[in-house]
Copies of this chain bind each other. A is one copy, B any other.
Amino acid sequence: MAATEATKAADEAYDVIVLGAGPTGENLADRAHAAGLSAVVVESELVGGECSYWACMPSKALLRPVTARSEARRVPGLKDAADVALDAPAVLAHRDAFTSYWKDDGQVRWLDSLGIDLVRGQGRLAGPRRVVVDGGRVLTARHAVAVCTGSRAVLPGVPGLAEARPWTSRDATSAKSVPGRLVVVGGGVVGVEMATAWRALGASVTLLVRGDGLLPRMEPFAGHLVAESLAEAGVFLRTGVEVREVRREAPGGPVTVLLDSGDEIVADELLIATGRAPRTEDIGLDTVGLAPGSWLDVDDSCRVTGVTGGWLYGVGDVNHRALLTHQGKYQARIAGAAIAARARGVPILESDRWGAHAATADTLAVPQVVFSDPEAASVGLTAAAAEKAGYRTRVVDQDLASVAGASLYADGYRGRARMVVDLDREVLLGATFVGAGVGELLHSATVAVAGEVPIERLWHAVPSYPTISEVWLRLLEAYRG
C-alpha cells in the first residue's frame, strides 16, 4: 500500500523538512517559514511532542498545587486551612486538561494557521535532502532537513526490568491514578520532580539514587536542600544504591526491587528515570553516513558536522547540547535563522559568538528550574564546572533565609544562593538559587550571565525591597567585601 502510494505520488519539494513536531520542530518550522521558506513537518506521534504531553506541561501541572499548598502552609492565617491533603482527582483532571487530553488538534491548527504542512508518519532519511514517510510519500528539501526528534527514556540493563513494565517519564506524568507505593530510580530532575508530585498526591515514595546526592548537575547544596525537604515530606531516600534485579510476577501486580545491598522493596509501581537516548535509531541516518541511534554532533548553528553539502541539522535533544525544551526552542530560533541566512547565500561566521546564528547560550547560559519544593534554579556554570573549564573564579554564597523578602515569603524559609564570578572579566559565569519562590528569580541571573553584565554595573541593578531578589545585593556586597 505504501509502496503503491510512493509510485503514484511525485516527490514533494520543500525548502525545509523538519522531522519531529515537538516544540523544537514547531519553532524551527515557524522560523524558517517566517523567513520566507516553505516548510513541512513530519511527525509519527502527537504534534506538540514530549513537552506538551509527557514532560513539562503535565509535570508542572502536577507540581504547581504542591508548591502552592506548601507556601500557603507557611504563612500565618492560613496554616490550618492549607494543612490538608491535595484533592488528587482534581489535580489529575487539571493535568489532563493541560495536556489537551493527549490530543493535538490545537497544535495542528496552529501549524495550519502558519501555513506549515504536516505529514503524519515515520519520516526516514533516504540519502541527501530526501525523506520518505512510512516508506511511501517522498519529500525533498531544497535547503535543509532538520532532525528534531528529541529523546526518550532509557531503561538500564537490569535483569527483569523490561519485563516488569516499569514507568518511564511518560507514564509518571500521565498516570490516571495515584499508586499506593512508588519506587523512583534516579535522582535527576525527573526523579526528584516525580517523587515530589506523587508523594504530595498521596503515594508512599521511595527514591533510589546511585550517587551520593540529588540533582548532580547543579551545585551540591541544591541536592542537599531538596533531599532534606523530600525527607520531611515523607519520601524515603536511599543514596549510593544500585538496583540489581526487578521482579513483577503478574501484570498489574506488585513489583519487587532488589538492591545490591540485598534489600528488597515491594511497590505498586516503579519509575525509571536514569537517562535519555536520542530518538535517531529509525530515521535513516545510515543513508547519509551517520550511525543510527547516535547523538548528532553539530556546530553552533546546529548543523550536523561531517555531512557533505551541509544540509542536515540536528536541533533540540538529539544534539545532546542541553536536553531542555527551552534550549531546543532556542536552538530552533538560531538554526532557523541560520538555515534562512544560508538559503539567501549569506555566509555564517564560525566566530559568531552570541550572534544571530550561534546557540552560544547552550554552552554558557543554560537555565533550568526544578519545580521541586523548594525550587532549585540555576544558570551557567557551577563552581566546579567553571574551575574545570579553567576560569579563575570566586564563589560567593548567601543564606537566603537571612534576606528579608525571603523570611516574609514563608515561615522558616530555607534556601541558598551562589554566584560564580569570572575574576578576569568580572562577570558572572553562573548562579544557583534554591528556595521557595526562586523560579521566577532565575531569569535575572540568566540576563546577567548571557548579557555578560559587569559586576560593577550589577551594583546599579537595585533589587526591589522586600523581595527575595534582594539576595543579589547580599551576593554583590559579599563579593565587593
Contact = CB atoms under 8 A, between A and B. Distances in A.
A112 to B, nearest CB: 19
A51 interface: yes
A227 B94 CA distance: 29
Nearest to A469: B443
A192 interface: no
Contacts of A438: 440
Interface in A455-477: 456-470, 472-473
Given A71-B68, A367-B462, A447-B458, A469 B442 contact: yes
Interface in A376-420: 377, 404-405, 407-409
Nearest to A407: B98
A301 interface: no
- Identify the interface centre among A68, A407, A437, A446: most chain B CB within 10 Å of its CB: A68
Contact of A447 (B94, B377, B461): B461
A69 interface: yes
B78 A69 contact: yes
Contact of A361 (B82, B91, B404, B462): B462
B443 A57 contact: no
Contacts of A84: 78, 81
A462 B82 contact: no
Contacts of A360: 460
B463 A443 contact: yes
A458 to B, nearest CB: 7
A19 interface: no
A65 B57 contact: no
- Identify the interface centre among A64, A409, A468: most chain B CB within 10 Å of its CB: A64
Interface string A286-306: 000000000000000000000
A51 B78 CA distance: 25
Interface residues of A, number: 85
A309 interface: no
A368 interface: yes
Interface string A59-90: 01100110011011011111111101011101
B458 A451 contact: yes
A76 B96 CA distance: 12
B57 A466 contact: yes
B87 A460 contact: no
A450 interface: yes
Contacts of A472: 443
B56 A77 contact: no
Contacts of A463: 326, 367, 443, 446
Given A462-B330, A467-B439, A469-B443, A65 B60 contact: no
Nearest to A409: B64
Nearest to A477: B333
Contacts of A57: 404, 408, 466
Given A361-B461, A441-B440, A451-B447, A408 B64 contact: yes
Contacts of A78: 65, 68-69, 72, 82, 84, 86-87
A327 B88 CA distance: 45
Nearest to A71: B68
A155 interface: no
B76 A91 contact: yes
A368 B409 CA distance: 17
A372 interface: no
A51 B404 CA distance: 11
A77 B94 contact: yes
Given A57-B404, A464-B442, A77 B72 contact: no
A462 B81 contact: no
A100 interface: no
Interface in A421-442: 437-442
Contact of A461 (B80, B368, B450): B450
Given A69-B78, A78-B69, A78-B86, A462 B437 contact: no
A460 B466 contact: no
Contacts of A405: 60
A218 to B, nearest CB: 13
Contacts of A86: 77-78
Nearest to A76: B94
B465 A324 contact: yes
What 5 pairs across the A-B complex have the smallest Cβ distances? A76-B94, A451-B453, A443-B444, A77-B86, A443-B469
Given A61-B408, A330-B460, A437-B440, 7 more contacts: A75-B94, A82-B82, A324-B465, A325-B466, A333-B459, A367-B463, A451-B457
